[in-house]
Chain A
């Protein structure tokens, strides 16, 4: 049991080499991924009963592994032991160790026959409570702009019976939000409740309250978690189940209402409806507030200041529609319809870059998605239309994953997202942008595992934005490249190296450095000359500086679109001593060149120590990091161990050090406690952050305490 629970702690340590792109990190909400993992730990996938959908939706195996496993069972019968997985060629020992907590072999009776009273009371109960506070306090608190206290509170009750029935309630308050305010009369600022039941073979699922809805490849609606570009090149396909219970604390990305999945033979239908109030900022063009000038949805979920409280629950958002799937043995085709209705019209000042974005009260979206497995090829895709009275928009994504041999995976993905494609749902499709709009792209990935000790992966993604984007004043293009190599000579040693290169066009401003000047180099000369023409100071001095022809303001207000090149290299070693001590060392370097200003470099180095033992009910992890990254756009992200259920990927920028200590204590099988303390020191600055988030100190502290009761 102790081994299991210790595995629970380190099950959070997902392979961080998957993440290299800051945009990727900033757009994800991994809390739902963690929730799914925790649910799987409580009720592992039963390999005696799991079909292709169950294994795909668990997201613990590659497509190749799923196909090989099902083929093995078909030929040889049910598995006799989990260790039989070793005879399947696509399963390495490391893969089996990684997935062991999430799988089981069980001959239990069909849970559909269990009485409802037993289903709702004889499962597992869990209660979490968490407290977090940062020091020193931010300016928003000292200036009384933030109405609440600086702590963060989280409470959650969760019930689960196998994978058949779930219900729960979550209450959460962010730092600065006030308990029992006029807009939070029940106490917490945010509440979420869900009831999720897999009833029988005809009513496959019933979801009441808050739930996730995942349609196709995410072009019109996909509130669940899904990776985009990572070193796992065959994970480009979205695999989530259509309906899942929602138990996270993201205050926007979920549906609230009811949904169910009805199944008859090979056809399943999932009607859904969601009605919830969302935050919206409204501005008026007149003093009587009768004429709305702008109305935009706010997704942050923060209600600290008077303005943020005014925006709370200002708009009623309704989603309704259905999904219909026809399934074959190794394929499916699905039709999705999503209607969106708002109580007021979304409206904003139209600028060139946002002129095609959705405005109005109503939108219809329709899509067709499919997947098919043919021998060693897995084909998938989705085609979607957005329909408004005056225009239609098209979005298309199609991909193929090939396994020509047991050691090699190839993946290709093409996407076309028209600038006219409107999106009001919560899409999460593969791409460079945050939504499937205004983008064309082609992705190619290769992974190679010639032996159990060595693996190599690479991908290249080229994309174009045919229309303007925010902070890019002309159509633009770019590419991402990743080279990744992993070497594990034994169970106790792992080494990996990643090289990430991205070049993407963006608006660039000139930063005059020392002596109020900028050196003219072979890199920036053509850009400066094309913008300023003859006004540039090309008199042989090789510097750009204010003159009678060009003022400082003219220079600093210039916006030039340039291909910004970002390169990152990471070297990581992890080694285990006597099964209890794990040491991890990392060196990461970043390089940024916007073709105009002086290139900037950054470095992050850290050393981790982790202790876990089956004899002692204590686990500890600690890290000391040193960083020197002078430019914000060059920041480096690094995943940290955290308390159970929490995800931490801080970004490092400026120069300084960071230390954290993560402590877990298991009192008995019912009670577990965690504590995380961190300290960050910034050299050469006196304050951090801006506005209400400003902290007048260069030393920051953070404390997190969590308790779990389980019975």
Chain B
């Protein structure tokens, strides 16, 4: 879906809008592997967990990106609270560690804010602000961690189809626009695709559902850099109902 995940109510909300985690009512775990720009030596591996509570959820994430000479490692812990049936607001704290061979390591802390609002049965709106405090990685050279605001909306005309759009603005980069859709052609099979601007990209993928297990295969195609294939697995452990 060209990266339109802000309004998704699944375990990957632990990495996207933390506010969406408030609407998850079970324990879920997920992993995500991405090979940025096919045949490059870099890899990205992420793991997520969302633990539902009565009126909210804890969300955890671990992220690794890099190759032998450059590595980024992030750990995030967040909590999202549900206000009524329509609004979820969350806060996440992140620990960042960056290592460059022969240049040393740097660490920093940051926090993110997220919100998801169900306007109606068919429409959701989400906002996520990453590092609003503009935490610096290196004070001497004023090297800051990315500060970004993202706004997304999703529309579900029926249970089989979702169309989502997002606007993202990083302080250092131009405004990005993404549009994606998810079409469930079968109860166990979904097709996904999307397009984006800045950078110009297209994406396509398929998702398989089998009971609580979901497997997604996809690729993003950047018109200049090429293909970045991705695979993700998630497993939902349903909440036991009280007798």
Residues of A within 8 A of B (CB): 402, 404-408, 410, 412, 442, 444, 446, 448, 450, 458, 460, 462, 477, 479, 481, 501, 503
Given the known inter-chain contacts A405-B158, A477-B223, please indicate yes or no for A444 contacting B200, CB distance below 8 A.
Answer: no
Given contacts A405-B158, A408-B161, A444-B193, contact A460 B200 (CB under 8 A): yes
Total number of B residues with any Cβ neighbor in A under 8 Å = 15
Chain A nearest CB, measured from B74 CB (Å): 31
Majority secondary structure, B binding face: strand
Report the minimal beta-carbon distance from A375 to chain B, rounded to whole angstroms: 9
Given A404-B160, A462-B223, also A410-B195 (CB < 8 A) = no
| Inter-chain contact B157/A405, CB cutoff 8 Å | yes
In the complex, whether B37 has a CB less than 8 A from a CB of chain A is no
- Complex CA gap A136/B115 in Å reads 66
Pair B197/A462 contact, Cβ less than 8 Å: no
B163 touches A479 (CB 8 A): no
The docked-state distance in angstroms from the alpha carbon of A406 to that of B157 is: 9
Known: A442-B202, A446-B163, A462-B202. 8 other contacts (CB 8 A): A408-B163, A408-B181, A446-B181, A458-B195, A462-B200, A462-B223, A479-B223, A481-B200
Residues of B contacting A412 in the complex (Cβ-Cβ under 8 angstroms): 193
Chain A positions within 8 Å of B202 at CB level: 442, 444, 460, 462
Contact across chains for B195 and A460 when beta carbons are under 8 A apart: yes
What are 19 A-B interface contacts by the 8 Å CB criterion?
A404-B160, A404-B181, A404-B183, A405-B157, A405-B158, A406-B157, A408-B181, A410-B183, A444-B193, A444-B202, A446-B163, A448-B163, A450-B157, A458-B179, A458-B195, A477-B223, A481-B197, A501-B197, A503-B200
Contacts of B195 in A (CB 8 A): 444, 458, 460
* A460 to B181 alpha-carbon distance, docked (Å): 14
- In angstroms, how far is the closest chain A Cβ from the Cβ of B12? 23
Residues from chain B with Cβ under 8 Å of A407 in the complex: 157
Q: Which A residues touch B111, using CB under 8 A?
A: none
Q: In the assembly, what is the distance between CA of A408 and CA of B161, in Å?
A: 9
Closest to B194 in A: A444
Residues of A within 8 A of B193 (CB): 410, 412, 444
B182 → chain A closest CB, angstroms: 10
* Known contacts A404-B161, A460-B195, A477-B223; A446 and B179 CB within 8 A of each other: yes
CA distance A410 to B193 in the complex (A): 10
Set of chain B residues within 8 Å of A458, measured between Cβ atoms: 179, 195
Task: Answer yes or no: B155 CB below 8 A from chain A CBs.
Answer: yes
Residues of A within 8 A of B197 (CB): 481, 501
CB neighbours (8 Å) of A462 from chain B are 200, 202, 223
- A74→B200 CA distance, assembly (Å): 44
**Once bound together, how far apart are the Cα atoms of A581 and B145, in whole Å?**
58
Q: A57 CB to closest chain B CB, in angstroms?
A: 29
Contact of B181 among A406, A410, A479, A481 (CB under 8 A): A410
Q: In whole Å, how far is B57's beta carbon from the nearest beta carbon of chain A?
A: 30
Inside 8 A of A448's CB, which chain B residues have their CB?
155, 163
Interface residues of B (CB under 8 A from A): 155, 157-158, 160-161, 163, 179, 181, 183, 193, 195, 197, 200, 202, 223
CA distance A405 to B183 in the complex (A): 10
CA distance A412 to B183 in the complex (A): 14
Considering the chains assembled together, what is the distance between the CA atoms of A406 and B161 in angstroms? 11
How long is the Cα–Cα vector from A655 to B8 in the complex, in angstroms? 50
Min CB distance A442 to B, Å, is 7
Q: How far is the CB of A462 from chain B (nearest CB, A)?
A: 5
Residues of B within 8 A of A446 (CB): 163, 179, 181
Residues of B within 8 A of A450 (CB): 155, 157
Residue with the highest number of chain B CB atoms closer than 10 Å, among A402, A404, A405, A446: A404
Residues of B within 8 A of A410 (CB): 181, 183, 193
B161 touching A405 by the CB < 8 A rule?
yes
Q: Which of chain B's residues has its CB closest to A403's CB?
A: B161
Q: How far is the CA of A458 from the CA of B197 in the complex (A)?
A: 12
The closest CB in chain A to the CB of B123 belongs to A450
B126 to chain A, nearest CB (A): 18
Scoring A402, A448, A460, A479 by chain B CB atoms within 10 A of each residue's CB, the highest score goes to A460
Chain B residue at minimum C-beta to C-beta distance from A464 = B223
What are the nearest 8 A-B pairs in CB distance? A404-B161, A405-B157, A460-B195, A404-B183, A405-B161, A405-B158, A479-B200, A462-B223
Complex interface: chain A residues within 8 A of B158 (CB): 404-405
How many angstroms from the CA of A462 to the CA of B227 in the assembled complex? 14
Closest residue of chain B to A405 (Cβ to Cβ) is B157
With the chains together, A448 CA to B181 CA distance in Å? 11
Least distance between A331 CB and chain B CB atoms (Å): 19
Nearest B-chain residue to A477, judged by Cβ: B223
Alpha-carbon separation in the docked complex, A479 to B198 (Å): 12
Least Cβ distance of B183 to chain A in Å? 5
Q: Which residues of A contact B160 (CB under 8 A)?
A: 404-405
Question: In the complex, are the beta carbons of B200 and A402 less than 8 A apart?
Answer: no
A503 to B200, CA, bound (A): 10
How many Å lie between the Cα of A675 and that of B208 in the bound state? Answer: 64
CB neighbours of A444 from chain B (8 A): 193, 195, 202
Q: Which residues of chain A are within 8 angstroms of B179 by Cβ–Cβ distance?
A: 446, 458
Chain A nearest CB, measured from B88 CB (Å): 24
Cα A444 to Cα B179 in complex, Å, equals 11
Query: With A and B bound together, what is the CA distance between A477 and B224 in angstroms?
Result: 9
Alpha-carbon separation in the docked complex, A498 to B200 (Å): 18
Q: How far is the CA of A416 from the CA of B181 in the complex (A)?
A: 25
Query: Smallest CB-CB separation from B197: which chain A residue?
Result: A481
Inter-chain CA distance A41–B152, complex, in Å, is: 46
Contacts of B181 in A (CB 8 A): 404, 408, 410, 446
**B179 vs chain A, min Cβ distance (A):** 6
A444 to B201, CA, bound (A): 11
Shortest beta-carbon distance, B223 to chain A, in Å?
5
In the bound assembly, the distance between CA atoms of A303 and B155 in angstroms comes to 58
Asked if A408 contacts B157 (CB within 8 A), the reply is yes
Return chain B residues, CB-CB under 8 Å to A479.
200, 223
List the A residue with the shortest CB-CB distance to B157: A405
Q: How far is the CA of A404 from the CA of B160 in the complex (A)?
A: 8
Cβ of A481: which chain B residues have Cβ within 8 Å of it? 197, 200
**CB of B197 to closest CB in A, whole Å:** 6
| A122-B193 Cα distance, complex, nearest whole Å | 55
Which residues on the A side are within 8 Å of B157 (C-beta)? 405-408, 450
* A462 CA to B205 CA, complexed, in Å: 18
Query: Once the chains are docked, how many angstroms separate the CA of A412 from the CA of B179?
Result: 15
Complex contacts, B155 vs chain A, CB 8 Å:
448, 450
Q: Could you tell me the distance between the alpha carbons of A442 and B197 in the complex, rounded to whole angstroms?
A: 16
Q: Which residue of B lies closest to A443 (CB)?
A: B202
Residues of the B chain whose Cβ atoms lie less than 8 Å from the Cβ of A406: 157
Task: Give A562 Cβ to nearest chain B Cβ, in Å.
Answer: 14
Q: How far is the CA of A462 from the CA of B161 in the complex (A)?
A: 25
Minimum C-beta distance from A330 to chain B (A): 18
Determine the chain B residues whose CB is within 8 A of the CB of A477 once the complex forms: 223
Chain A residues positioned under 8 Å from B163 (CB to CB): 408, 446, 448
Q: How far, in angstroms, from A405 to B160 measured CA to CA in the complex?
A: 9
Chain B residue nearest in CB terms to A563: B224
Name the distance in Å between B202's Cβ and chain A's nearest Cβ.
6
Closest residue of chain A to B195, judged by CB? A460
Q: How far is the CA of A479 from the CA of B160 in the complex (A)?
A: 30
- Complex formed: what's the CA distance from A510 to B155 in Å? 48
Alpha-carbon gap, A405 to B157, bound state (A)? 7
Name the distance in Å between A341's Cβ and chain B's nearest Cβ.
Answer: 42
**Bound complex: CA of A442 vs CA of B195, how far in Å?**
12
Q: Assuming the A-B contacts A462-B200, A481-B200, are A402 and B183 also in contact, with contact meaning beta carbons closer than 8 angstroms in the complex?
A: yes
A566 to chain B, nearest CB (A): 14
**Docked CA distance A94–B121 (Å):** 28
Closest B residue to A463 by beta carbon equals B223
Complex Cα gap A450–B161 (Å):
13
Task: Identify the closest chain B residue to A481 (Cβ).
Answer: B197
A462 to B158, CA, bound (A): 30
Tell me how far the C-beta of B130 lies from the nearest C-beta in chain A, rounded to whole angstroms. 26
CB distance from A1 to the nearest CB of B (A): 42
